[in-house]
Chains A and B, each alone.
Chain A
Amino acid sequence: MSGTTQGKMQLSGRGLICVRGGREVFSGLDFAAAAGEAVSVVGRNGAGKTSLLRLIAGLLVPAAGTIVLDGGDGELTLPEQCHYLGHRDALKPALSVTENLTFWADFLGGERADPAETLATVGLDHATHLPAGFLSAGQRRRLSLARLLTVRRPVWLLDEPTNALDVAGQDMFGGLMRQHLSRGGMIVAATHAPLGIESRELRIGGVA
Chain B
Amino acid sequence: MTALSALVRRDIRIALRVGGGALIGVLFFLTVVVLMPFAVGPDLALLSRLGPAILWLGALLASLLTLDRLFMADHEDGSLDLITMSRTPLELACAAKALAHWLAAGLPLIVATPVLGLLLNLDMVATGAVALTLLAGTPALTFTGMIGAALAVTLHRGGLLMAVLVLPLSIPVLIFGVAASQAVIVGPMTFGAPFSILCALSLVSLVIGPFAAAASLRHGLD
Contacts and interface: CB of A to CB of B under 8 A. Distances in A.
A58 interface: yes
A20 interface: yes
Contact of A99 (B2, B5, B13): B13
A102 B2 CA distance: 11
Interface stretch (A28-36, A107-115, A170-178, A196-204): A107-115
B123 interface: no
A130 interface: no
B20 interface: yes
A80 B87 contact: yes
B2 A106 contact: yes
Interface residues of B, number: 27
B186 interface: no
A65 B79 CA distance: 27
A20 B221 CA distance: 11
Interface residues of A, number: 29
Contacts of A90: 77-79, 81-82
Nearest to B79: A90
B6 interface: yes
The prevalent SS among residues of A at the interface is loop
A61 B218 CA distance: 10
A76 B64 CA distance: 37
Nearest to A104: B82
B43 interface: no
Interface of B: 2-3, 5-7, 9-10, 13-14, 17-20, 76-79, 81-88, 221-222
22 contacts: A57-B85, A58-B85, A59-B81, A79-B84, A80-B86, A80-B87, A84-B85, A90-B77, A90-B82, A91-B77, A92-B79, A94-B14, A94-B18, A95-B17, A99-B13, A106-B2, A107-B6, A107-B10, A107-B83, A108-B87, A109-B86, A109-B88
